A and B are shown apart, each in its own frame.
Chain A
Amino acid sequence: MSENTNANKDYAVIGKSVPRIDGREKVTGAAKYTGDLSFPNMLYGKILTSPYAHARIISIDTVEAEKLPGVKAVITHKDVPTLKYGISPARWDENIFCIDKVRFVGDKVAAVACIDEKTCYEAMKLIKVEYEVLPAALDFLTAMDEGQPQVHDEYPNNINTEIHQEFGDVEQAFKDAHYVRTDRFLGQRTYHSPIEPHSAISMWQDGKLTIYSSTQSPHYFQHYIAREFDMKMGDVRVLKTYVGGGFGGKLEPTGLEFAGAVLARITGRPVKMFYDRHEMFAHNRGRHAQYMEITTGVDKDGKILGCHANFKMDGGAYTSLGIASAYYAGALLPLTYEFDNYKFDMFRVYTNLPACGAQRGHGAPQPKYAFECHLDEIAKDLGIDPIEIRIRNARRPNTVTPNEFGVNSCEIKSCLEMARDMSGWVEKKGKLPKGRGIGVATGSFVSGAGYPIYRTNLPHAAAMIKVAEDGTAATLYTGAVDIGQGSDTVLSQMAAEAMGFVYEQMKIVAADTETTPHDFGAYASRQTLMSGAAVKQAGEEIKAQLLDMAAVILQRDPSDLEVKAGVIYSRTDSSVTLSFADAAKEFFVRRGPLVGKGSYAPPKLGGKFKGAAVGTSPAYSFCAQISEVQIDEETGVIDVLDVWDVHDCGMVINPGLLHGQVHGALYMGLGESIWEQVLFDKNGKLVNGNLGEYRLPTALDMPRVHSGLIDSYEPAGPWGVKEVGEGSTNPTMGCFANAIYDAMGVRINSLPLTYEKVWKALKEKRELEQKQNK
């Protein structure tokens, strides 16, 4: 256990599963999402996209569309800036509309704004685009070969990103090793599938552009929209109402914002745009498919001496956040286990398919799946129990990874031990009936990225709290973005705790670039730690001012006073009390607005090598997951029965929301393990861009979930917090894959582990056994 534990700390607001601050609005249906909003005179806009995976645009004729009654604007590349954009600064490679050629089925070609939605569809049918169809690069494993179609002329051999890193001496480690093993795995394309489709409403007033968007980061939207239109950031306002899930897919502005802004400017009217479910799949930015070759050398006890990760990933037609995905794929691998020698090679390859980007866990979950399966194979070869080999290699607190990430708190060993005990591993492993299996995996993730996506010296988070003039309520202003994970609730709890106030009287204004202080937004599992640190500072500033006022009123020394849960009291005389509200009201009367502010920037982190920034973080969460599955050997049907998750995420602000994140992560991980895969036909057209055939698990598919916590304290986080949102997806695919392997006795080295793949592998195994018996 950590030395500085929270177990006995007496907190009034944090550490409690208070109801969500937006719960009532959401469950009653009162909550308005961007798509629900309407403005006077509002037009509807839609984007016409490419029907071909790769084609040259010969001509675009919009004359007929423009003539259609109800059509207010038709735009193509001629009507918009030609400046290339993207979210990763090193590779801006997208245009608002394609100029010379289209690069995937769904690439943006033109857009319309009309008096209603129906007219949009009719107008799009009237736009005549002449294409010269080109051969397409659809397979990322061959797209780098000579003679393959080039997706972008500027990137020979379709190489979007190339990474070669080595720490220590891997070759020597393999020479010294008792055993060296290589395994190869293939991950699949998956899509975030948030419930709420992307939508944006753009409008102009006196040269200022306002966009309501379903966004994970108003800040990055504001930054990149201002850049694209050569505007001052102060003249661009991006805000959101409620967001129905993001998972990485709503971190970058899309055609909805870029085309919508232009359509709104031309027509002088607000323009609402949205993607339908199929268009969401076509826009994508979901998980990259990765090919993963891993070689590891261990000593006779299974201690890892060195590891070489040799990966390729399918980037699709554009970069999106893919450079970071590529770096993350290797950067986070040495976190859960301690070893000194590590080599990472990666090619991110362009293909004529929808662009891939960040999806919950970013580039890390598939490599972690591969590594956890690989480690199980090593354990089996050496005759070591899978949990034992993980405990032997488990990272210790206050250590540094080979790629120079400093780890403070780390209870991975305790996570493994607790998960082992909760699941009954010892009684079950190797003793389960035929068709039943149990598997384990570990994971770890950043609690916020050490560096922002583009180079800037802005602090990562800022917050402001204003106490109501009569002292009965307080409003937190934060740029942090609640996309369903519950950050509005957690940050309000933190504000109340820091101020000595009550959660029930907290109000929040969040995620609006104009009214709230800057924050980078909801990605890289950053808000509890980073936004929380800014909120804590703001709350403490309120508290100090309030106690100073109370000292005057009560005629006592401020250091004798404390405030908690809305009551100011003396540390030495229990008869002396004053309500928070009375003191706050008096403050306003005598001294003006009671306002507190805070900001947070992480310390300088990481090494000096190329790509050293990716994966740095002030703190890392750790967890272990164990699952038990039942396989029908005749059909390949997999029933996941139970999952045990034990997390070290530091101090937990809201246990209910934390367990919710774990449930959600297991749900997504289950889908990616067994069912989900975005599929294309031989022409690069989506074949399952809908929720009928892109099979997310249903409630009936969910296993029993047992979510446990290790008491821990992270010195880098406010009150000792760390992340949970993304790290909880990190072990999941490996955990299910290992349980499925344990049940089958034969390893399938690709995701998803569909029933048919299981059936086929078991059939081949039986046939092989029959042959050997003859």
Chain B
Amino acid sequence: MYLPDFDYYAPQNLEEACSLLTHLGSKAKVLSGGTDLMVKMKHGVISCEVLVSLKELNELKEINYHQGKGVVVGARATHNDLVNSIILNEKYLSISEAAHHMASNQIRNIGTVGGNIVNAVPSADLPPILIALGATLTLVGPEGERTIPLEEFFTGPGRSVLAQNEIVTFITIPNQPTTGSNYIKFGLRRSGALAVIGVASAVTMEGNIIKDARIALGAVAPVPMRAKEAEAILIGKEYTDDLLEQAGVAASKECSPISDIRGSVEYRRDMVRVFTKRSLKAAITKGHSGEHLETAHSNNI
């Protein structure tokens, strides 16, 4: 394993970055945190001659709240920026907690939310909770800016609608009526494990009635997927444990996992059932901050 030689650019603004990407074409890759890219380059999975670093684009590191719009997260915010953001801790602790359970502390210090999304790995931890909360992505290219729902971003493992010369700049979590949200990453050890499955949920409760529910699953399909049949079972109903079990069963049926070294199809499906109901229960009973009480491991830290 050896990191091949490459040219390195650190454009000063987005315009310059996009024009560089347009000019260089397929021999260039965008470097954000590099925690996936560097490994893939070392293994020869990706070969590129030029890296265009977003390092100088400091506005992409910020996490802000915009009245009337929502929480806007810069794509270069690291996982630990999400963990430590006061805004996210107050509004959607579920996102901070999803980031907290990713990888290892060293990687959380470097890896970015934009990279986690753009890589389009089916087991990525941040897309499910962001999809459940209805997040949108801002993409900037030479032609200007466009905004799309995150849910529509992914087209397959490692593939997305992002053009070669486009850059993901911001993730927006819109203002919303949801009363609770939650993400459970089920990995095979407490840290540094990829998700066997991941379940995110967001609910809008009125008393005991589930007015709305969104469930997003990770690592059980080529792209992060909504469990819409499970959602339909919940919406408009009174919350009971039995109802959550039904939703879990529905989610386990509608997902399409594969068998690999982390888990078989059967195991993944059943874990979707279990963690869908646990995630929903946490979102219903603990608001946006319940994940730490309801994790894959009983005494998780």
A residues apposed to B, CB below 8 Å: 117-118, 120-121, 276, 278, 630, 632, 634-635, 637, 639, 641, 675, 679, 687-688, 691-693, 695, 697-701, 754-756, 759-760, 763
Contact = CB atoms under 8 A, between A and B. Distances in A.
Nearest to B193: A695
B261 A675 contact: no
Given A637-B296, A760-B267, A278 B274 contact: no
B2 A688 contact: no
A117 B2 contact: yes
Contact of A692 (B2, B194, B263, B270): B194
Nearest to B44: A121
Nearest to A698: B191
Contact of B298 (A118, A121, A632): A632
A641 B299 CA distance: 9
B7 interface: no
Given A692-B192, A759-B270, A637 B261 contact: no
B39 to A, nearest CB: 9
Given A675-B188, A693-B261, A759 B267 contact: yes
Contact of A755 (B188, B192, B275, B298): B188
A695 B194 CA distance: 11
A687 B298 contact: no
Contacts of B262: 693
Contacts of A634: 274
Contact of A756 (B4, B267, B274, B297): B267
A700 B191 contact: yes
A41 to B, nearest CB: 21
Given A635-B271, A693-B194, A700-B301, 12 more contacts: A630-B298, A632-B298, A635-B296, A637-B298, A675-B189, A679-B261, A693-B262, A695-B188, A700-B190, A754-B188, A756-B263, A756-B264
B186 interface: yes
A232 B66 CA distance: 78
The 7 closest A-B pairs by CB, nearest first: A700-B190, A698-B191, A756-B267, A121-B2, A634-B274, A700-B191, A276-B1
Contacts of A641: 299
B297 to A, nearest CB: 6
Contacts, number: 61
B5 interface: yes
B163 to A, nearest CB: 30
B130 to A, nearest CB: 23
Nearest to A635: B274
22 contacts: A120-B2, A276-B1, A635-B271, A637-B296, A637-B297, A637-B298, A639-B299, A675-B189, A692-B192, A692-B194, A693-B261, A695-B188, A695-B189, A699-B191, A700-B189, A700-B190, A700-B191, A701-B190, A701-B191, A754-B188, A756-B267, A760-B267
B110 to A, nearest CB: 16
Contact of A118 (B5, B192, B296, B299): B5
Contacts of A756: 263-264, 267
A722 to B, nearest CB: 33
Contacts of A630: 298
A688 B192 contact: no
Interface string B165-190: 00000000000000000000010111
Nearest to A754: B188
A697 B189 contact: yes
Contacts of B271: 635
A639 B297 contact: yes
Nearest to B264: A756
B238 to A, nearest CB: 24
B41 to A, nearest CB: 13
A65 B205 CA distance: 68
Contacts of A635: 186, 271, 274-275, 296
Contacts of A276: 1
Contacts of A695: 188-189, 193
Contacts of A687: 261
A55 B191 CA distance: 40
Nearest to A630: B298
A639 B298 contact: yes
A118 B3 CA distance: 8
Interface string B272-301: 001100000000000000000000111111
B1 A278 contact: yes
Interface string B122-143: 0000000000000000000000
Contacts of A120: 2
Nearest to B295: A637
A260 B197 CA distance: 45
A637 B263 CA distance: 13
A698 B297 CA distance: 14
A269 to B, nearest CB: 20
A633 to B, nearest CB: 10
Contacts of A698: 104, 189-192
A514 B141 CA distance: 66
A256 B263 CA distance: 36
A395 B258 CA distance: 51
Contacts of A700: 189-191, 300-301
Contacts of B104: 698
